[in-house]
């Protein structure tokens, strides 16, 4: 069971990288872009901390933190992927 968490953390990190690299394609430079990045980061870290507190005994709290941050970024990744496929910028 423990071997799943490093893989999940790697996938979560890739989702976070994808979202943060793609946000600039769909938002103009300025406060909207900053708010998008900061809100995802803050909510992700808070969710990751709570998840690490709850599931820290099952896996490394650092891995659970990374997975929590990644899970918060999944809806944004879906929206950005839909926008990319529809050709909007």
Q: What is the DSSP track for 17-62?
A: HHHHHHHHHHS-TTHHHHHHHHHHHHHHHHHHHHHHHHHTTTS-HH
- Total structural domains within the chain: 1
Name the residue range of residue 43's domain.
4-86
Contact between 33 and 87 under an 8 Å Cβ cutoff? The reply is no
* Residue recorded with tokens 């926008």: 83
> 63-87 burial by CB neighbour count: b if 16+ within 10 A, else e?
bbbbbbbbbbbeebbeebeeeeeee
Give the model's confidence band at 81: pLDDT under 50 very low, under 70 low, under 90 confident, else very high.
Answer: very high
Q: What does the pLDDT look like over 9-43, one tens digit per residue?
A: 999 999 999 999 999 998 889 999 999 999 999 99
Reported pTM: 0.86
Look over the chain and give the mean of its residue pLDDT values, rounded to a whole number: 90
Q: Give the pLDDT mean for 63-68.
A: 92
């Amino acid at each position: 069971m423990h071997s799943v968490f490093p893989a999940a953390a790697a996938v979560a990190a890739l989702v976070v990288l994808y979202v943060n690299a793609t946000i600039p394609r769909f938002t103009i430079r300025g406060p909207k872009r900053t708010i998008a990045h900061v809100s995802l980061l803050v909510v992700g870290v808070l969710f990751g901390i709570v998840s690490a507190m709850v599931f820290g005994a099952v896996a490394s709290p650092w891995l659970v933190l990374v997975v929590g941050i990644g899970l918060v970024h999944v809806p944004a990744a879906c929206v950005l992927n839909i926008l990319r496929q529809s050709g909007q910028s």
